[in-house]
Amino acid sequence: MTVLTVTVSPSLVAKPFHLAFTRPVVEIDGIETETAWGTTEFTLGSGQHEIAVAFRYRGTHKAKLARARHELAVADGTERVRLTARLGARNGSSFTITEE
């Protein structure tokens, strides 16, 4: 199994707002997990995976805003994969997901 580390961060300009009023959502192969801003670890098997990151306002359960997708190929024997998802500074910006 491979450990997937996902670090989700808002822009510095909007960070106080997002820490107070929003929660990030990480979706792996269609299964979503509401997380906290910062780093979260998941376990993946080898193969192709679709990773998506979005946020929603606290108290809401359906809307996913600023959603971005990333296709991830995990080879057999890979121990750890790190992704960083950063939210853009402008209102209406989406996340940018990069693989380290």
For 40-95, the pLDDT digits (tens) are: 999 999 999 999 999 999 989 889 999 999 999 999 999 999 999 999 998 889 99
25 SS3 class: strand
CATH-assigned architecture of domain 2-99: Sandwich (2.60)
Strand partners, 41: 5
Q: Write down the pLDDT at residue 92.
A: 87
Angstrom distance (rounded) from CA 76 to CA 45:
8
Contacts of 98 (CB under 8 A, 6+ apart): 83, 84, 86
pTM (2 decimals)?
0.92
C-alpha of 7 from chain center:
7
Q: Write down the pLDDT at residue 100.
A: 87
Q: Which residues of 65-77 are buried (b: 16+ CB within 10 A; e: fewer)?
A: ebebebebebeee
Q: Write down the pLDDT at residue 61.
A: 87
In the chain, domain spans: 2-99
Half-sphere exposure of 18 (CA within 13 A, CB side): 26
Do the beta carbons of residue 41 and residue 87 sit within 8 Å?
A: no
Do the beta carbons of residue 8 and residue 24 sit within 8 Å?
A: yes
